[in-house]
């Protein structure tokens, strides 16, 4: 158990400002002072204030040090980590109110935010899976695997890039996973309308699933004409061709593969109070 955790931003902005060297020097100085058994140095994701980098936050105090340089490291270690005296000159000014020092979450920049998907960014080390699990990482996956049934899915927003190999493989996978239920659900590829958005495809299609669940409507796969049939695709499945369909959508599944999402499937479920 460490008495202090020193979080160093490893985001793109701070990394370009030498945060990796800041982290290495912190570890050296902490060891030199004999504090390596008491103080833990953690590389985190972006804190969101890139212009203030390199950013270093010390917990449990929540002291937010901005624009830290290598020359500042000995002072932070000696004064704050060894003697318990916060180095006020290095603090982000919006965290200081007269003699009071506020945590980062109490500053105007963060008060307006409610982080959901990124709530752990800047808090845990993204390269240590145990830290993610400790913050309920994979709990949603566990719930899907242990509590949900394939028959609960009403709509699948497929990766559907209109490539022969990809489309055929995805349809076969749907039939294998969902069995007879595959014929009862709706399937569509919204890439038929948006085109392939590359890295943004997964995010956009996940949002489309959210709206589908919210409004109980399935967006179509447009531009389908008679004669497009591929003999290896089962056209008894409901691909929602050319026109949106109204239906109850309690659960939607978004498939995003390759550079669209690195083989990810996300389930969105209607919220019930």
Of 7-21, 71-85, 172-186, 202-216, the least confident: 7-21
Which tokens hold the place of 8? 């160093």
174, pLDDT greater than 90? yes
Predicted confidence at residue 263, as pLDDT, reads: 79
* Mean pLDDT score, 32-52: 91
pLDDT band at 261 (very low <50, low <70, confident <90, very high): low
Looking at the predicted structure, is the pLDDT value of residue 179 above 80? yes
pLDDT at site 76? 97
Q: Is the model's pLDDT at 121 over the cut of 60?
A: yes
Q: Does the pLDDT of residue 144 top 80, yes or no? A: yes
DSSP string, 8-32: EE-SHHHHHTTHHHHHHHHHHHHHH
Tell me how far the alpha carbon of residue 27 is from its chain's centroid: 28
**Average pLDDT value for residue range 22-37:** 96
In this prediction, residues 217-230 reach a mean pLDDT of: 89
pLDDT of residue 91: 93
* Residue 28 C-alpha from the chain's centroid: 32
Higher local confidence (pLDDT), 105 or 187: 187
Tokens of 69: 């340089």
Q: Please count the other Cβ atoms lying within 10 Å of the Cβ belonging to residue 189.
A: 25
pLDDT exceeds cutoff 90 at 122: no
pTM of the model: 0.66
Task: Please report the pLDDT score of residue 40 as a whole number.
Answer: 94
Q: Rounded to an integer, what distance in angstroms lies between the CA atom of residue 198 and that of residue 10?
A: 25
| pLDDT at residue 230 in the model | 83
Q: How far is CA 83 from CA 2, 31, 62, 66, 79, in A?
A: 16, 15, 16, 20, 5
Assess whether pLDDT exceeds 90 at residue 259.
Answer: no
For the chain, what is the mean pLDDT? 91
């Amino acid at each position: 158990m460490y008495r202090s955790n020193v979080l160093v931003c490893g985001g793109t902005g701070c990394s370009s400002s030498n945060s990796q060297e800041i982290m290495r020097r912190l570890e050296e100085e902490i060891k030199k002072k004999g504090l390596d058994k008491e103080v833990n140095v953690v590389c985190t994701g972006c804190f969101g204030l890139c212009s203030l980098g390199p950013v270093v936050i010390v917990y449990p105090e929540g002291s937010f040090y901005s624009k830290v340089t290598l020359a500042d490291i000995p002072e932070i270690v000696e004064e704050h980590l060894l003697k318990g005296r916060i180095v006020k000159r290095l603090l982000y000014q919006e965290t200081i109110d007269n003699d009071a020092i506020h945590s980062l979450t109490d500053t105007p920049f963060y008060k307006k935010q409610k982080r959901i998907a990124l709530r752990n960014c800047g808090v845990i080390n993204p390269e240590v899976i145990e830290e993610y699990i400790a913050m309920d990482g994979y709990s949603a996956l566990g719930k899907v695997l242990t509590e949900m049934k394939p028959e609960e899915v009403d709509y699948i927003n497929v990766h559907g890039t209109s490539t022969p190999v990809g489309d055929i493989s995805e349809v076969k996978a749907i039939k294998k996973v969902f069995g007879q239920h595959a014929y009862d659900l709706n399937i569509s590829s919204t890439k038929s309308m948006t085109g392939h958005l590359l890295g943004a495809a997964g995010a956009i299609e996940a949002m489309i699933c959210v709206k589908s669940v919210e409004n109980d409507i399935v967006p179509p796969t447009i531009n389908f004409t008679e004669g497009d049939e591929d003999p290896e695709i089962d056209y008894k499945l409901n691909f929602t061709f050319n026109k949106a369909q109204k239906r109850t959508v309690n659960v939607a599944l978004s498939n995003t593969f390759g550079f669209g999402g690195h083989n990810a499937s996300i389930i969105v479920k209607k919220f019930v109070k």
